[in-house]
Amino acid sequence: MKLIIGGAYQGKREFAKAAFQLKEADIFTCTGEHIDFSAPCIDKIEAFTLACVRSGKDPLAIFQEHQPLWADSVLICQDIFCGVVPMEADLRQWRQVTGQLCQYLTKNAQQVSRIFCGLEQRLK
């Protein structure tokens, strides 16, 4: 699995398409708590974690349960860990569980890249 992280609008998706020869049709974009683990690329994991927090589900447990399905995928997550800590409890929890999920994914990743202004910084 390859993990790509970075801030909003930094070119994560375009980097993934170029680096891993992905077509737009290969990318599943999370918009809620449904996730297609069989997709070659899963984008906006942070949207999935937010939906899970709001519905009382554990996104880390869901990823652990489905690990064989995403083991060869490219995963993309927006960096929501830096900056001002949100005042709302659910958004603080979202930030926390997304960070925990990314730590788990990083441990299991073959490659981890941070994208900043379209440039890759290889972390692992």
pLDDT for 87 equals 87
CA distance 24 to 83: 30
At 83, the pLDDT band (50, 70, 90 cuts) reads: confident
At 84, the pLDDT band (50, 70, 90 cuts) reads: confident
Token readout for 69 is 């399905």
pLDDT for 82 equals 78
At 88, the pLDDT band (50, 70, 90 cuts) reads: confident
Give residues with Cβ within 8 angstroms of 119, minimum separation 6.
none
Token readout for 24 is 């737009």
Nearest to 50 by CA among 13, 28, 80: 80
Provide the CATH number for the domain around residue 117. 3.40.50.300
- The structural domain count of the chain equals 1
- Its domain, for residue 86, covers 2-122
